[in-house]
Amino acid sequence: MSDLQQIARSTAPIVLHDELAAYLGFTPHLSYTLEDAGKFAGHLCPTVATAFEMARRALLELWADQTPERGHIKVDVASQPDSFANGPLAQVIGFVTGAAGVTGFKGIAGRFNRQNLLHFDANLTPFGSVTFTRTDTGAAVRISALGERIPGEPDMAPNMRAALSGDAEALLRFQAAWARRVKFVVEHPEQILDVQHLNPTGSRS
């Protein structure tokens, strides 16, 4: 098992209630792991880990000690979808929360809608922040990821270049450094996530 697999499997899952899944007889609760997020994205990187922890923190802030409701969260990203890694970050957040864009599920008889709950708006500030809003109460939090606080790995870039040229030892060193950055995100999310509560009139219950 690789270092990244160990990190993914040891990170606590995010558990949500999903009324659509319950209504259709699948399961009332869905558990998403960091490994699931990595499979969804096709890789595991600091951005995927950050998106996973942003979703976790937002759900905790909006539902406190209650089980979060998947599909009841609107997500607004302060960016264009193709700016930096904000598109992939939003996809992972949508995967966990159920928020989708125009391709999302339209619902059944006015219920269970997932469509148009994920939006990108470059006019929002601060750039790259993500606002999570409960569709039932209006309570909202804005979370900014401060990636510059992830400890640097000075040798990672040269090892990456050498690995791309076929250096097997450099590849191992690069992968170890990569895993350390992912590990920092999931072990110390409070150090890289800035949380601001919005709409104080919105209820969390």
Length of the chain: 205
User: How confident is the model over 142-199, as pLDDT tens digits?
Assistant: 999 999 999 999 999 999 999 999 999 999 999 999 999 999 999 999 999 999 999 7
Q: What is the pLDDT of residue 154?
A: 95
pLDDT of residue 199: 76
For the chain, give every domain's residue range.
3-152+189-198
Span 90-134, pLDDT tens digits: 999 999 999 999 999 999 999 999 999 999 999 999 999 999 999
Q: Class assignment of domain 3-152+189-198?
A: alpha beta
Average pLDDT, stretch 75-95?
Answer: 97
Examine the pLDDT at 26 and tell me if it is beyond 90.
yes
> What are φ and ψ of residue 177, in 5° steps?
-65, -40
pLDDT-based confidence at residue 205 (cuts at 50, 70, 90): low
